[in-house]
Chains A and B, each alone.
Chain A
């Protein structure tokens, strides 16, 4: 693997880019692997990388039905934050943020993690108190960058928000996580792929799993579009397809419903907004940032009905535009360049699953709702830890399928068992 650096860019510039090689191999699948991760998205790629890196394991394959990073890895609004407060969630996302902070160096791939601050607008005294509980918990659990800003500080830092008298929900302040921000989503997938490949992981694209074979309480092999592949351990990390694969493994139901979430990008503009801004008030939910290329990247709620179709409908387009223009009135003339949608595996409490399954050698990574992007480094880290050690790390001990029967709650929103209300 050529090490990426300013030096290598310079040298290749002089040599007509002749020195660059494939960033990852395109191997033929072997007949047998020790560990097979199904799903070449961020979570699967990160898992394979950490299995090889942290646990020194070899003979690992990732099976991807299309092209790697082709699911929600490339369909999200790229926000990275750790402002969770429930035990388990808090430690997990904070660990993820710590991994993000050094990810470019770790992978030798610039994932452009921009710690530009994540700003949640607050519109009522009650909302300030609610945010205070969350951000106090962050501080007390070792996250020093959690702050509550008053209106003056907010105005200085984010000048173009609607502070005027016509604002339907006047802004009183903001809850801020300064180490949060955005990253270049595709680069994360490619960076993990390249680093995993360098450690010997076989990344096999265009390889769709069509059925599983079981012997006793174990999966013995997977039938794929590229042949039969046997595995000692199997991990599923297939957001948007979890239920289907679960049923292929011989099970019936999961605490998951698939919904679609739209995302939006505007035409490229010179810098206008330097942070990630989020608000949720009056039934609205909205988040926006500006990509390094200049496009305003934003989104809102789910389309509100279950769907596996990767295309959205107009009512949410209008809702999201209303949010955008209401909170940043100068966006009225800015034009929407593209909108698309992705399939989100919404869980019953908004929290994920990184857990063992009723089968001895099958492990599940699923239920990321629409917060999976920021989670991907830790998701891979803990899933690898689980697969390697065959027991869950204490941070993720509640990320299991049994928690609903036990009554354990990881419900950050308090929305209850209606998957479309989480996110």
Chain B
């Protein structure tokens, strides 16, 4: 278990100082596939480098198995890294690369060869063990980088955007394989990415970061269904934002008749309301729902559904996905009016977030 406690990192000093991380608290469980997700410059790579030991924290603790490892140099930490650039040693063969961590740590030579064979078998690179890294494709280099980091049996494996250099098809395949490998080994993975699809499909839990702070830490479903704020809602998937007012336990949206608050929601005064495009219903919905009228501004056919951009009467736009399982969507035309319903239980009330309001 890795306990990150009030970890902060400041680069530089004085006026040019840059606060890359502002007091991060996360507990990463044993055997978890944990992802740090965020746009570039959000601090995710800095956090990973702090865990690896390449950077020293400005404050806080990194507690691994009850011991603060924040001041231990990288070569003595039981964590290994798969680098974005792979950083394979070009003058060594695949097998020599994989053996490096074991040799550097002074593992008994008799144990190194079997371990190298075993790990190359796991990543399916045994047949290329005598190749040099310059003679391999990106996907192969990636497997070797993975094998090299796994060979010394780290307590935690750190992966710094390892799939970003691969083409789409290979990336999908490697996502699947990484996840399978992580399950089979039961090893804790800390994975850094800016790709939300990658994060959603692979992770047990995701920490969404922005501006050096944690926005939300949750499993993929919770992040998508119950984003903590506007930034998370926008970064993960697509979202519509509408402004409303809560008064007397009722929500008024775009001048429509007040409806009861969604289940479990609690607020008063002006609020930002979020709804995912696929939750918007064409026509009117049964039960509690807000009905809105608008004009179709754009239509994009995408096979299973039709993406509709609707211009509402108050000037806001609303995007929705109308499934193509009936003939209803064939009657849609740009410029035509359309009535939609927003089921109350699909609405999410978000706190007003000044920093991300723009």
Q: Do A and B bind each other?
A: no
